[in-house]
């Protein structure tokens, strides 16, 4: 079924500029599921002599950005596109050892050109306004700023075999639409995210198994550029570029 559906969509020549899709809440999950099935079929074919079908994976990677442009603002579409880009980048970075090479446990190489080459529209205007972490195996959290005029910080989270869900971290009128985002795991299972907030300040939120808790990290205006790193357990450093061009940093070294 994935192959047949993919061919029908391709023959319809959806180029993402003049076509308007009318998909209700009941139809959209099925469409996204088909695109993801086409993608996974490309890396583990369920039939035929070839284990890998790059043409199918490439077709899914072509369709996902088109759907994202046509269904502008649909959070689940943006989440699927981010998932495909991350997974494809990891797969291509890992399989450079040779076709069908097994991926070993541990940190995976990423194809940075593939991930950086696709600007993600939707709730995150471009890729620099998205941040993602994997809290536990088979989980992904994608953070973005809501495209509504009032702003707000959202996270789309999903588990393998389940649908994407939305959680609001910061309410409307608390973030700029163009805010940079940074996120990391301070310890396995514990997440932190930071953004440029209203009124001008650097705000953050953490999740330690219960509800998200917001806090102000630093007062004063920001410019562009925000990064975070945890070079060992319980340690975090957040860096940003101020309006004067200076690089600022704050750090937290836990017990």
For residues 73-79, average pLDDT: 73
- Residue boundaries of the structural domains of the chain: 1-96, 123-255
> How far is Cα 236 from Cα 241, in angstroms, rounded to an integer?
17
Q: Name the residue among 65, 140, 57 with its Cα closest to residue 99.
A: 57
Question: What residues does 155 pair with on adjacent strands?
Answer: 143, 167
137-153 pLDDT tens trace = 888 888 887 765 556 78
Q: Which helix (H) or strand (E) holds 139?
A: strand 139-145
Task: Check: CB of residue 68 under 8 Å from CB of residue 35.
Answer: no
User: Which residues are CB-contacts of 86 (< 8 A; sequence separation ≥ 6)?
Assistant: 115, 132, 140
pTM of the model: 0.50
pLDDT on residue 193: 92
CATH superfamily placement of domain 123-255: Fucose-specific lectin (2.120.10.70)
State both tokens at 66: 């088109």
90-101 pLDDT tens trace = 555 544 444 444
Query: In 15-138, which ranges are E strands?
Result: 130-133
4-32 pLDDT tens trace = 444 454 444 444 333 445 556 677 888 88
Between 176 and 251, the higher pLDDT residue: 251
């Amino acid at each position: 079924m994935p192959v047949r559906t993919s061919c029908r969509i391709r023959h319809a020549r959806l180029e993402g500029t003049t076509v308007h899709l009318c998909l209700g809440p009941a139809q959209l999950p099925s469409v996204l599921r088909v695109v993801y099935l086409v993608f996974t079929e490309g890396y583990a074919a369920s039939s035929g002599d070839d284990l890998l079908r790059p043409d199918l994976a490439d077709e899914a990677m072509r369709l996902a950005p088109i759907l994202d442009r046509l269904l502008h603002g649909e959070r689940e579409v943006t989440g699927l596109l981010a998932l495909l880009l991350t997974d494809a980048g990891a797969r291509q970075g890992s399989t450079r050892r040779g076709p069908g090479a097994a991926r070993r446990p541990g940190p995976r190489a990423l194809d940075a050109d593939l991930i950086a080459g696709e600007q993600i529209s939707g709730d995150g205007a471009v890729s620099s306004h998205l941040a993602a972490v994997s809290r536990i195996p088979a989980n992904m959290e994608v953070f973005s700023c809501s495209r509504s005029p009032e702003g707000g910080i959202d996270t789309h989270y999903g588990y393998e075999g389940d649908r994407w869900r939305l959680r609001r971290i910061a309410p409307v009128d608390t973030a700029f639409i163009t805010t940079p985002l940074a996120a990391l795991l301070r310890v396995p299972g514990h997440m932190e995210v930071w953004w440029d907030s209203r009124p001008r300040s650097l705000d953050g939120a953490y999740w330690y198994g219960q509800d998200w808790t917001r806090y102000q990290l630093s007062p004063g205006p920001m410019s562009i550029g925000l990064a975070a790193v945890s070079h060992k357990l319980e340690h975090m450093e957040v860096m940003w570029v101020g309006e004067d061009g200076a690089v600022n940093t704050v750090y937290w070294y836990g017990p």
